[in-house]
């Protein structure tokens, strides 16, 4: 996760443009994939006496849900690399896969 403060006069469109440019920059420069970017209001991140952001406190606030982000970009598909390969769909005559029937039931119940 990347946590940063958003400028006070920044629009949502500018914030998302910036966040979408940060993701590939971090990947190309550092060779790591990030799970997401959290933008908080200016002055919201905990700082020490020297003015530096307190990483451990920030992490604790994130885990507690008390960061109160103003914008959030999640990209878990770039981080999770060990997902199983989906099985190819095969239908044999009138036999239908059970998981397909369950999906249709959920859709019928909600409609």
Q: Which of 36, 37, 45 is nearest to 5 (CA)?
A: 45
Which of these CATH numbers, 3.30.930.10, 3.40.50.2300, 3.30.300.30, 1.10.10.10, describes 2-78? 3.30.300.30
- Across the range 70-84, mean pLDDT stands at 76
pLDDT of residue 91: 57
Domain ranges of the chain: 2-78
pLDDT of residue 16: 92
- Across the range 28-57, mean pLDDT stands at 90
Enter the pTM of the model.
0.66
- How far apart are alpha carbons 11 and 8 in whole angstroms? 9
pLDDT of residue 27: 87
Checking if the pLDDT of 1 tops 80, the result is yes
Please report the DSSP string for 19-67 in residue order.
HHHHHHHHHHHH----SEEEEE-TT-S-B-TTS-B-HHHHHHHHHHT-S
- How far apart are alpha carbons 82 and 91 in whole angstroms? 27
């Amino acid at each position: 996760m990347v946590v940063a403060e958003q400028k006070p006069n920044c629009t949502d469109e500018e914030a998302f443009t910036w966040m979408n440019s940060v993701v590939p920059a971090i990947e190309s420069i550092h060779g790591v994939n990030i799970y997401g970017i959290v933008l908080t209001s200016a002055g919201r991140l905990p700082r020490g006496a020297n003015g530096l952001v307190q990483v451990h406190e920030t992490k604790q606030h994130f885990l507690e849900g008390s960061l109160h982000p103003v914008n959030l970009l999640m990209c878990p598909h770039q981080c999770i690399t060990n997902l199983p390969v989906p099985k190819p769909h095969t239908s044999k005559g009138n036999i239908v896969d059970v998981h397909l029937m369950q999906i249709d039931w959920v859709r019928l119940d909600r409609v």
